[in-house]
Amino acid sequence: MPARSPKPPTPASADGGSRLRRLRAREAVRELVAETERPLSHLVQPLFVGPEAPTGRSGPLPAMARRGVDGTAEEAARLAAAGVRAVLLFGIPPRKDPDGRGAWDPRGPVPRAIRAVRARAPELAIFADVCLCEYTIHGHCGVLARSGRVDNDRTLPLLGRAAVAYAEAGADLVAPSAMMDHQVAALRTALDGAGHAEVGILAYAAKFASAFYGPFRDAAGSAPAFGDRRAYQMDPRNAREALRELREDEREGADVLMVKPALPYLDVLAAARRELALPLAAFQVSGEYAMIKAAARAGWLDERSAVEETLTAMRRAGADLVISYFASERANALAGGDR
């Protein structure tokens, strides 16, 4: 009688019965075992306060529209009603000068908007960007030396003055984005000296010299009039240096640390999460927003799914909060019952 051939093992017996798809079969089970949450309470919506911009490349990007003070307050109230918990304000002044004096003018766009938003939506957390690029005629993030280069040390007290103006208007956190060395220490000293020790600092700690800022510069009118920002923003090739920047801002007194942009630098974000205890922010910048919008308009991807996937990636990499132009749309989708 011929010997029987051994029965080939089934996939189940070969790996001890594992079937990873069992926990993916139904939505209710998928939700129970999801490792990464993406709650609306962790999203921050950027808003632009200033004169209405002429129609340009940012026209098809609704989240990047400029609004006056009253319009900003109205939009903030709408966001709060939809479930968004925080906004980040950027100011565009009616006039610019070499030193960016409008940045610390108490009657400037950001202080006025902070007061108006606080009155209309008192439950919102208000973050205020601190930089000079929108306020200077040359578009750089600090004042210039005679050589034409940005003067780091002369810029620091001006950033401090802007932070104090925003704190006095009622900001919860100020967000220095100029990438000047020791800007966090300068802001902490200025705030504490003015009696605003309770105001936090969200540090743009690892802000890279990125190709993904174009739509923002168009919306804010902040493109450099000459040269670029590679002398003070980070080299995209340097991850170890980014961790040095993050640790330095932590030592100087930052309350939250940011990696910007988000998707191209998820490795930096994940490394920061492993090493640092402070809350981490990721900024899904204007170019990331614009790419998804353009691809969706062309029919190349589903916008809502792409937004969900990218926001999940940032949270999975370690972001405690995500600044995203999609925050408002995410709120609207959740209000409609979408996941």
Where in the sequence numbering do the catalytic residues fall? 207, 260
Q: Tell me which DSSP letter residue 237 carries.
A: T
Strand partners for 150: 144
Torsion sign across C-alpha atoms 327, 169, 255, 286: positive
Report helix, strand or coil for 84: coil
Q: Residue 339 and residue 334: Cα distance in Å, rounded?
A: 6
What is the token pair recorded at 237?
A: 């090739």
Pairing of strands 321-324, 86-91: unpaired
Closest CA to 279 of 259, 261, 263, 307: 259
CA distances from 267 to 179, 270, 313 (A): 20, 5, 11
Q: Give the CB-side neighbour count of residue 320, counting CA atoms within 13 A.
A: 12
Residues 6+ apart with CB under 8 A from 256: 173, 200, 201, 202, 203, 278, 279, 280, 281, 320, 321
Task: Return the amino acid letter for 53.
Answer: A
On whether the CB atoms of residues 141 and 150 are closer than 8 A, the answer is: yes
What is the token pair recorded at 337?
A: 């019952």
On whether the CB atoms of residues 225 and 139 are closer than 8 A, the answer is: yes
From the centroid of its chain, how far is CA 241?
Answer: 20
From the centroid of its chain, how far is CA 90?
Answer: 12
Task: Return the amino acid letter for 304.
Answer: R
Gyration radius (Cα) of the chain, Å: 23
Omega within 30 of 0 (cis) for the link into 261? yes
